[in-house]
Chains A and B, each alone.
Chain A
Amino acid sequence: MTHLPAQLQNWFDNRGWELHPHQRDMLDRADAPALLLIAPTGGGKTLAGFLPTLAELAGGSRQGLHTLYVSPLKALAADIKRNLRAPVDDIGLPIRIEDRTGDTSYTQKRRQRADPPHILLTTPESLALLTSYEDAPRIFAGLQRVIIDEIHALAESKRGDQLMLALSRLQAIAPDLRRVGLSATVEDPAAIAHLLARHPAPCRVLNADPGPDPDIQMLMTDEAPPWSGGGAKYSIPSVLNEIKNHKTTLIFHNTRAQAELYFRALWLANDDNLPIGIHHGSLDRAQREKVEAAMVRGELRAIVCTGTLDLGIDWGDVDLVIQIGAPKNVKRLVQRIGRANHRYNAPSKALLVPANRFEVVECIAALQAAKANDLDGDPRGDGPRDVLCQHILIAACAAPFDADDLYAQVTCVGAYSTLTRAAFDDCLELCATGGYALRAYDKWQRLQLRDDGLWHLRDPRSSQRIRMNIGTIQDTDKLKVRLKGNFKPLGEIEEAFAATLTVGDTFLIGGQIVRYEGLRDLTVQVTRRADKPPKIATFSGSKFATSTQLSERILRMFGQDDWPTLPDHTAAWLTLQREVSKLPEPDRILVESFPYKSKHYTCFYGFAGRNAQQTLGLLLTQRMEEMGLGPLGFVATDYATLVWSLDPVSDPAPLLQGGQLRDGLATWLAGNAVMKRTFRAAATISGLIERNTPQARKSGRQTTFSSDILYDTLRKYDPDHLMMQITQEEAMRGLVDFGRIENMLDRTQGKIDHHVLDRVSPLAAPMMLEMGRVPVAGEARERLLQEAADEMMQNAGLQGFGT
């Protein structure tokens, strides 16, 4: 039990502040080896985490690093530094507080290593880098506490795994280290506690008073939402009105592209010139910081944003959160809503804006789930092995290591507590020799077991390359966008999108339309000469899939006799579907077939989420191609996959057999671009291929080649390689999400309702209008390419040229 020292108590008293019960609790239990605090946004979570540190350091006799604070965002570290400084400076406490992120200067970083502050604020990547230095034992020797902020967000990604592995290393250096996790409301606190604590030690979970229930509603507009699409432009007048009636509004979008489009539409209709900003991860840092500063000063009435604003930076007086598009995930919705009224004990106010008719149903389902506090989330699997490989390399950078010791440390990490020695050795082997069946690198091993029984870097200079590639965040290749003749970047777009641009094309970035002028030194050059309607900058991989729990809730809603909670237009639509065909049921798969414009359409209502429905589309069309049905293309949403073909599907049952689909995943889909991307991410994290090299990417472009070739080569010559196993594992979630297809098969047990209709059903109609149609490639692509080339040869009069 720790008492609040008198000078801190006085400082609080002078402000008329009283500690919240959970802040008191955290002080009382300050000695616990692991503590997890679950508190709503605005609950004084961070202060609760730091109080014991301030109390312990108030005496002033401490030297060296006492507390390490880790948060998922650099901005959060800077924000916390500011907030902590207030009491420390006011009281004149002898406490040094510094942050260390990717933005910290080289000299500052060096000084921090030589003379660490009392409190160091950092990110998982910067911490991993710190642990890779030879002097890590000295830096962390006296470390007492580590505070992990927003641990619920970190726990959802490999960044959390990397962080916990780094903690296992710190704990070995400083055995008395106490761990504190700060989390927003989550569905399974025990799972987070398991990740946080040093396995098998217990972790106490403290729950703060969740505060009053939020006030969430669906935005009712005069105009009904459109049948399809994700733009929600119809809502602009109503949303502008809401902005006018509130102090500060956050307008959340699920994707950056949608945020850009919506922002632009808002500005075009913003006749009152309300100050509205935009904030998302693809904008240049300077631009983002400008918006953040304006927000803190209270100069903005609204910010159009994406998930980058999800985490707990203090944005001042937000009194309304608007979610555009179905929230896809109830937990995230609840966390977002917490951003409004960032004060304890005041109800948060939020509005949901469905982007299309189907999302009306999803929004109502999400509202009910949020009210019932029925949060969703997928159980986390075991700790990923690619992150472990990187951890092994980081350990080797710091010092030669003993494999037994490192294995013992790793299994003290909750996510890796069930890791077998054999699996660990496989990862060590991958780091040392590449782990290939063909042992080609015995002479050039990266790690070598030497006579002292320790694993050493063969070439100590390779530590530089390893350090440059620390981290688990996989940015798809992005190119900076700059105005011609201007050094300041506007932001970034994906290479794949840049590749579709022709000089003169225009696109949206940061709310401006810019014109593509060319590519120079890997920078996209643009001008403001915008004379065409913009292409949308597409950002792949940011599409969230509707959660399993929310999908099930929607299916259950379909089972109701009537829908008093739904707006009339949507209830009438569902009623019509029931009359004409049938509404999907939780334990059956509905398949509808109908002709349209001399093609045959088949709609599979799997409710497996966008990514899995997309994968299902790839697998179904491949199967249909084999059966000679002539599939031409498909489109997928969170709820269904619509396939069109030359011949009708007379019996969908064989198409939906688990064995067939699994075979397709193993063989055909294994060559798919999504799998290659998955491989690339895992191979980069595990250190098999490098994202950054000292010479950067400037040197001769023809010397680099695509990682896709590596994937193809491994598939052909070493299909059981660890990297291929990891790729397969990852394919069960993420962009491939085959796990959701398995769920769907499990849930329905082969019960398929096939309805053959003479025309499109009400439920399928919106699917016909969906964007993002995927043409079926196969032999057809080769033929199309040949035809296009022949036509050009003919037009050029070159058909017989040279012969």
Chain B
Amino acid sequence: MTAHKFRLNGTTLFAMPSGALWIPDVQTLCVSDLHLGKSARIARRTGSMLPPYETADTLARVSHDIALTDPKMVICLGDSFDDLGAAAELTHSATATIAQMQAGRAWVWIEGNHDPGPVPVGGTHLAELHLAGLTFRHITTHQTHEVSGHYHPKFGLSGMGPARACFLYDEIRLLLPAYGTYTGGLDATNPVLRDLFGSNTIAVLTGKKAIAVPMAKTLHQRRPVGRSY
């Protein structure tokens, strides 16, 4: 398997190259920050009409990971929808895809800052969830053994191509990368993220393979400058 295997609070976890987290003990797949309906929200708010294919693309990738792991439960770790309006405006084919994925398994929507209310799509809506000795919530607090998203961490090595979305973890907490197709990232060396983690932090880069890099060893590395539009 090309995933990176590690442990948090004794639970075995797999950081998958797609950006999903696989928890074999409880047969659970976790994805964060899908931002479904992002292009529609941008069009509504700014008039910019970006290629409207990201929702289909994001869902296709989730489908693929579900087919790969056949989980008993799927946790979407917040900001699953770019806003509540976007959740209400999902196309028929998108809602059909979601329904198909939900069939025969538990599905949990954790609330995020973009989608704070219940969303008009099937599944359980929770602010947080305790499972396998870990707490799943959208934004990390100061508790230990949390799995969260929100920050969209990304990281790259000097001279090794552009930064990639990444997992970040130490003994205390785990941050998931943003899974959505139209999501940018916050560099892992940003003080906001640095302050969350201790000296033994590992970044797991997504891509064709999950690649683990110790953050401490990269302090001397360049700070990549993200390109945004």
Enumerate chain A interface residues (CB-CB to B < 8 A). Answer: 433-434, 436, 438, 440-441, 444, 446, 458-459, 462, 465, 477, 479, 495, 498-502, 519, 680, 684, 688-691, 693, 697, 701-707, 709-710, 713-714, 716-718, 721, 777, 781-782, 784-786, 788-789, 792-793, 795-796, 798, 801-803
Contact = CB atoms under 8 A, between A and B. Distances in A.
Contacts of A703: 184
A803 B229 contact: no
Interface in B144-172: 151-152, 157-162, 169
B46 A434 contact: no
B124 interface: no
16 contacts: A433-B49, A434-B50, A436-B51, A440-B43, A441-B49, A498-B225, A499-B224, A502-B158, A690-B229, A702-B183, A702-B186, A704-B229, A706-B162, A785-B157, A785-B211, A798-B214
Contact of A519 (B169, B223, B228): B223
Contacts of A436: 49, 51-53
A792 B228 CA distance: 29
Nearest to B224: A499
Interface string B48-79: 11111110110000000000000000000000
A517 to B, nearest CB: 12
Given A477-B227, A690-B48, A701-B186, A792 B222 contact: no
A801 B7 CA distance: 8
B221 interface: yes
B224 A441 contact: no
Interface in B204-218: 205, 207-209, 211-214, 216-218
A444 B91 CA distance: 14
B219 to A, nearest CB: 11
Contacts, number: 168
Nearest to A711: B51
A687 to B, nearest CB: 8
Contacts of B142: none
Contacts of B152: 702
A96 to B, nearest CB: 38
A579 B196 CA distance: 69
A438 B184 contact: no
A465 B46 CA distance: 8
Interface of B: 5-8, 12, 39-40, 43-44, 46-54, 56-57, 91, 151-152, 157-162, 169, 178, 181-186, 200, 202, 205, 207-209, 211-214, 216-218, 220-229
B191 to A, nearest CB: 11
Contact of B228 (A479, A704, A785, A789): A704
Given A702-B186, A784-B160, A462 B46 contact: yes
Given A690-B229, A717-B53, A796-B217, 4 more contacts: A436-B51, A441-B40, A689-B48, A702-B185
A462 B184 contact: no
A800 B224 CA distance: 27
Given A704-B184, A704-B228, A713 B51 contact: yes
Count chain B CB atoms within 10 A of each CB in A680, A713, A795 and give the residue with the most.
A713
Contacts of B57: 713, 716-717
Contact of A717 (B12, B51, B185, B221): B51
A441 to B, nearest CB: 5
Grouping DSSP codes into helix (H, G, I), strand (E, B) and loop, the B interface class, with mixed when no group exceeds half, is: loop
A803 B5 contact: yes
B212 A438 contact: no
B225 A462 contact: no
A181 to B, nearest CB: 35
A415 to B, nearest CB: 26
Given A501-B222, A713-B51, A440 B211 contact: no
A524 B182 CA distance: 28
Contact of A801 (B12, B200, B207, B224): B200
Nearest to B182: A705
A788 B158 CA distance: 10
A495 B227 contact: yes
* Residue with the greatest number of chain B CB neighbours at <10 A, chosen from A714, A792, A802: A802
B51 A701 contact: no
Give me the 6 closest cross-chain CB pairs, A-B, nearest first. A434-B49, A704-B228, A440-B52, A802-B6, A705-B184, A462-B47
B161 A781 contact: yes
B53 A438 contact: yes
Contacts of A706: 162, 184, 226-229
Given A690-B229, A782-B207, A792-B214, A502 B222 contact: yes
B186 to A, nearest CB: 4
A435 to B, nearest CB: 8
Contacts of A714: 51, 53
Nearest to B56: A717
B157 to A, nearest CB: 6
A499 B222 CA distance: 7
Nearest to A782: B208
Nearest to B47: A462
Contacts of A434: 43, 49-52
B43 A444 contact: yes
A571 B212 CA distance: 57
B39 A440 contact: yes
Contact of B211 (A441, A519, A789, A801): A789
Nearest to A438: B52
A459 B225 CA distance: 34
Nearest to B183: A705
A444 B225 contact: no
B51 A710 contact: yes
Contacts of A721: 51
B209 A716 contact: no
A433 B40 CA distance: 12
Contacts of A440: 39-40, 43, 52, 91
